[in-house]
Structure 1
């Protein structure tokens, strides 16, 4: 995809509630553990309480001591989807495809509308 608008955002952090299918997605300039921790605290834990389980991929922003400590302190189980079987994190993969389609339509420079 591209070219991207010059706002400085390069990543999108997505959270999905597997029961209600509620989606929270935010653009981020970086994709490190600090962004993930702030996102969880301000968008998930403070508004909805702590989930029982978080399913993530095995990115370094999810596999680090600060993330583990946050989950341990809030009694949240962490399950990691394997990189060779991303369907185990299927609901987020479906959301990512939808977000990608929307963004492609928004940032296309050759569209007629």
Structure 2
């Protein structure tokens, strides 16, 4: 009974995290791909996904390669940390924020922009830039809600166009990579009597 209550609490927490941290900040996605953990496979999570019209897809069991983008991102972060962390590897947690900032603001060829721009729709500005431009922005906005609202709608449309463009760039990059890979494959011609290795002999 206690175990079941604990899992229910976990499911409730996860649903709240999705609603507050992800959906409220970035909007509801079209689909979510997750593993087959009990956090994602329960009635409460399914109800939340159904309510907001999100398609929930499950990855193959014991197959982490399903989340390919996550694997690529983790590999990139690992390389950054390997270069920045010294001989004392316990300092990696202190360097993680800097590594994440470097990763998010670096230009990615497959999507044709930075991950930061893909999420927020604008270039990453340093605090010193914001400090000097804060008064100008406040004066420019002038607390006119209609103007600010219209400007925000334009920004949202631009962000959608940017994401569509990033998706197309990603597909083009994948096609080019596949062509390069396929060009290196050599076609083998086997004759009767040749010794070959069978996959399942």
Fold shared, TM-score > 0.5 on shorter chain? yes
Q: Which has the larger radius of gyration?
A: 2
Matched residues, number: 80
Question: Which structure carries more strand by proportion?
Answer: 1
In structure 2, relative to structure 1, the CA distance for the partners of 1:77 and 1:98 (3 Å cut) is: same
Which has the higher relative contact order, 1 or 2, with Cα contacts under 8 A spaced 6 or more apart? 1
Stretches of structure 2 lacking an aligned partner (at least 5 in a row) = 1-9, 93-201
Is 1:49 equivalent to 2:27 in the alignment? yes
Shift of 1:38: 1.9
Aligned to 1:22: none
Stretches of structure 1 lacking an aligned partner (at least 5 in a row) = 1-31
1:109 is paired with a residue of what secondary structure?
helix
TM-score, normalised to structure 2, is 0.33
Shift of 1:87: 1.5
1:51 is paired with a residue of what secondary structure?
coil
CA RMSD of aligned residues (A): 2.9
| Superposed CA offset, 1:63-97 (max 9, x none) | 00110000000000000111233212211233344
Shift of 1:36: 2.0
TM-score, normalised to structure 1, is 0.56
Aligned to 1:92: 70
Q: Distance in 2 between matches of 1:89 and 1:80?
A: 10
